[in-house]
Structure 1
Amino acid sequence: SETSVPSYTPGINRRSARTRRKLRNGLVEAAIMQPPEDRLMESEMRAKVYITNQEADLAIKELVRCTALARICYGDHHWKLARAHSNLAKEYFHLKGLPIQAIEQAEKAHGILLAYSQLPASDEEKREFLRCLIAHFHTMGRVLTAQQKIKPAEQSLNKAAKVLEELSPVNGVSHEEVTKIKIELTLSYARLYQKQKRTAEAISNYQQALSLLQSELEEKCTERITVLRDMATAEQVQGDHESAIQHLLQAHSILLSKDPSREETAEIAHSLAQAYAASKKEGVNGVIEKYYEDSVSGYKEVLGLENSKCLAVLDDYCQFLILIGKHKQAAVLLLDSLESKKSTFGELSAEVAETYRLLGGIELAQGDQKRAHHKLKKCLEIQILLYGSQHAKTRASQQTLDLLSKSLEVVGKERKSDTLRERPPFCAVVPQHSVPGGVKTNIYD
């Protein structure tokens, strides 16, 4: 008979384990012996990949490593350390949405750059240094804009624009690179002006950015979608709803041409629904409903009904349905979403209170005061816990409920009065008997 080979061979396994340990130790030793400049370069490359893939946590971890390696390579006062802090600041803001951490890193970079006095030794170093300054001031401008620090934000953007003028004539800097930076700065100015309610200037900057995008990049590029949507938002503030709708339709067309995700189409459908609704044009209710339905179904499909973004769009849709008198449809959607809101936001949340308020309003519009009172009472109870009894929302709900309670009391009294009027006379319901002598009479006579 054949001799079976044992599946476990102690000698072989011991040797393979030793081999693995040697290999691992060799890799660790190689990493330790690797010059910090090479490790910094590798970390920067990995960070770029993570940023491109929107892997925020990994990108931040790698950029933190870059700051440590830059300090080892160049010391505490070199502009390349400032660049590492500036890159970290940018992604704290861009990828993580953390302005406080971003400004902390940007201020570290700023302190190093202020103290740095050496002139760049070559054209290549000059290019890198100027790029570092532009990125630093631009990031500062964006973060300060988000923090509503308008004046210092504008000053930072102005500094970035001034350094860009110095970068343009330097050898080795392409026209495409300058244009790309110019587009980014122009958009940052537009958003700054939008925060200041300088709507006309914001729209002008959006148009300028759009022109640069059209002239330098492909006509149907994803960057244009963002610009068109932001410009439409500014136009709606200005009351130019027709232009806003046209720009959103343009963005929608570009989006559909590039095989978009379901979430992207849901997002722009929501924007179009809101724009058409704000325009108050006649005969567009069907269009608005279609866009809202597309948006809600898209978010449901990708994110699920319990997602906060999906629930917010659903509430917008329900408010529109209430506005056009489709109360039953709105009530069904609101009731269907109620448990999801309780699960997502909590039973004692502003979102749940608002749902009860809308449902109460629908019941009131349909003439069911008792049901309306029940829903509005639930809304009020939550609002008192959330905001206190003196908050504007709580007081408004209390006033509505008081009026409704009085109305119900009046109705109750009227019904009682009607019941008394319709009741037969007392003598008609008391039994009558025959008394001796053959005469019928009431027993109390």
Structure 2
Amino acid sequence: MTRTYPTQPCRGATKRKRPGKDKSTESTESNATTEESPPVCELDVESTPHTHTGRERMMPPDEKLGYFECRAQAMADNQQFDACISDLVRCVALAKLAHGDRHLKEAESSYLIAGQILEELYEQDGVVQEEKNKTELKISTALSRLYQRRGRPEEALAQCEKSLQLLGDGGDPGETCSVYRDMAAIEQSRGSLDRAIEHLTKAHAIAVSQSPGGPDRAHISYSLAMVHSSAAGPHHNESAAHYFEESLGAFKDTGPQDPTFLKAQDDYCHFLLINGKKERCVELQKASLAPKRCVFGEWSAEVSDSLQLIGGVEMTQGRIIQAHRTLRKCLEIQSIAYGPQHKKTKDTQKTVDMLARAPEVENRPLRQSPAAS
């Protein structure tokens, strides 16, 4: 007996013609059948290979998803449980590719169907508890992120809680950290910064216990710094500074040319600038110029942003000649990176023109000098 799921009929199912019927009768019966019930996937399970064929590789993701959904059902009906689990995992991955952001409702349906089949397999002793938990974890993780993208935070958090239950006390630390980070992102997106900090703090404790200087700690510390810097209150500022420094220290293991390290350093510099620590800000920005030139290129937006920040601080400190040199170099890069008509370029041009009229600059002969290097 073939089991069907009315929530989402198998895609790509074909209808066989009945012999002895004329075209008009056949057409009428075909339409009636289509209206009354969804098509049932007809697969010869015994002759269907469990590996990718050339035809499967050529299928687009949406068609391939339908194929594996049908095959998973057929495998379950024929008690070929290992193959069914394998196809369920494929369905979870393919739902992301097939539906993306355009058909999130269909993707949700695919995940729910996979969970339904998995539960039936478990009831039939077709899958052991450990394997069931692993597949359920994939489904709950995917659903939590899908619900978040659909603006359903409560359901997203519920799936995260389910993931934590599946992981238990002895779960993989990296996966547990990932769940807490997802929960923090959900809470932060709806403005619950204290809850976001709570989840990130748990993830941070796990990361520190597993690898004191590892990349997980660097990323989680960076996230904690950003959330604390967004929250009001002096204690949040102190915590933000602490976690920024911690993240930069942890990122050093990946090297100063790591783009994430450079991004974290830029965010820290903006935090320092807001809190009046200009010298430390300029110190870090000057140190970042060489690796940014190496990673992004001499004429990149990243290099121009650093020069603009440095030049702005120099100007507020009354170092007009140096600010003029730095911002002229910044303007040169912006003209190439953004174009002369871009707002950033025009704003910098106005500042450079203003500085050029200052007596210190106007009465000084121009000379080539490396800016803020």
Q: Normalising TM by the smaller chain, what interval?
A: 0.7 to 0.9
Counterpart contact for 1:82–1:109, Cα < 8 Å: no
Question: Which of residues 253, 271, 279 is equivalent to 2:231?
Answer: 279
SS of equivalent residue, structure 2 residue 124: coil
Question: Which of residues 130, 145, 154 is equivalent to 1:200?
Answer: 154
Question: Which of residues 181, 185, 188 is equivalent to 2:142?
Answer: 188
The alignment status of 1:246 with 2:198, answered yes or no, reads yes
Once the 2 structures are TM-superposed, how far is the Cα of residue 149 of structure 1 from its aligned partner? 4.9
Q: Calculate the TM-score normalised by the size of structure 2.
A: 0.73
SS of equivalent residue, structure 1 residue 388: coil
Return the structure number with greater helix share.
1
Distance in 1 (alpha carbons) for counterparts of 2:173 and 2:72: 39
SS of equivalent residue, structure 2 residue 151: coil
Counterpart contact for 1:144–1:152, Cα < 8 Å: no
**Structural mapping, 1:252-331, within 5 Å:** 252-300=204-252, 302-331=253-282
Distance in 1 (alpha carbons) for counterparts of 2:276 and 2:247: 21
Distance in 2 (alpha carbons) for counterparts of 1:117 and 1:333: 58
Question: Which of residues 319, 330, 340 is equivalent to 1:379?
Answer: 330
**Structural mapping, 1:152-167, within 5 Å:** 152-167=106-121
**Structural mapping, 1:17-416, within 5 Å:** 78-82=48-52, 107-108=63-64, 110-111=66-67, 123=79, 125=80, 127-144=81-98, 149-214=103-168, 217-218=169-170, 221-300=173-252, 302-390=253-341, 394-403=342-351, 405-406=353-354, 409=357, 411-412=358-359
Structure 1 residues 128, 398: closer, same or farther in 2, change over 3 A?
A: same
Q: Structure 1 stretch 257-266 or stretch 287-296: which is displaced more?
A: 257-266
SS of equivalent residue, structure 1 residue 284: helix
SS of equivalent residue, structure 2 residue 110: helix
Structure 1 residues 152, 352: closer, same or farther in 2, change over 3 A?
A: farther
Aligned residues: 319
Q: Deviations over 1:85-105 (max 9, x none)?
A: 99xx9xxxxxxxxxxx9x857
State the AA in 2 paired with 1:309.
T
**Highest RCO, 1 vs 2 (Cα 8 Å, sep ≥ 6):** 2
State the AA in 2 paired with 1:143.
L
Once the 2 structures are TM-superposed, how far is the Cα of residue 375 of structure 1 from its aligned partner? 2.8
SS of equivalent residue, structure 1 residue 224: helix
SS of equivalent residue, structure 2 residue 133: helix
Q: Deviations over 1:377-417 (max 9, x none)?
A: 33333233223334xxx3134124315524653x449x99x
Structure 1 residues 268, 116: closer, same or farther in 2, change over 3 A?
A: closer
The unaligned stretches of length 5 or more in structure 1 are 1-73, 90-100, 417-445
Q: Deviations over 1:121-160 (max 9, x none)?
A: 853x1x1242133112201123346666534433432332
Counterpart contact for 2:177–2:207, Cα < 8 Å: yes
SS of equivalent residue, structure 1 residue 81: coil
SS of equivalent residue, structure 2 residue 166: helix
State the AA in 2 paired with 1:340.
P
Structure 1 residues 220, 164: closer, same or farther in 2, change over 3 A?
A: closer
Q: Deviations over 1:12-45 (max 9, x none)?
A: xxxxxxxxxxxxxxxxxxxxxxxxxxxxxxxxxx
Q: Which runs of 4+ in 1 moved over 4 A?
A: 82-86, 103-122, 144-149
The structure that has the greater radius of gyration is 1
Structure 1 residues 146, 270: closer, same or farther in 2, change over 3 A?
A: farther
Identity %: 30
Counterpart contact for 1:273–1:292, Cα < 8 Å: yes
Distance in 1 (alpha carbons) for counterparts of 2:78 and 2:150: 41
Q: Calculate the TM-score normalised by the size of structure 1.
A: 0.62
Q: Structure 1 stretch 364-373 or stretch 184-193: which is displaced more?
A: 364-373
Structure 1 residues 233, 367: closer, same or farther in 2, change over 3 A?
A: farther
Once the 2 structures are TM-superposed, how far is the Cα of residue 175 of structure 1 from its aligned partner? 3.0
SS of equivalent residue, structure 1 residue 283: helix
Distance in 1 (alpha carbons) for counterparts of 2:352 and 2:139: 55
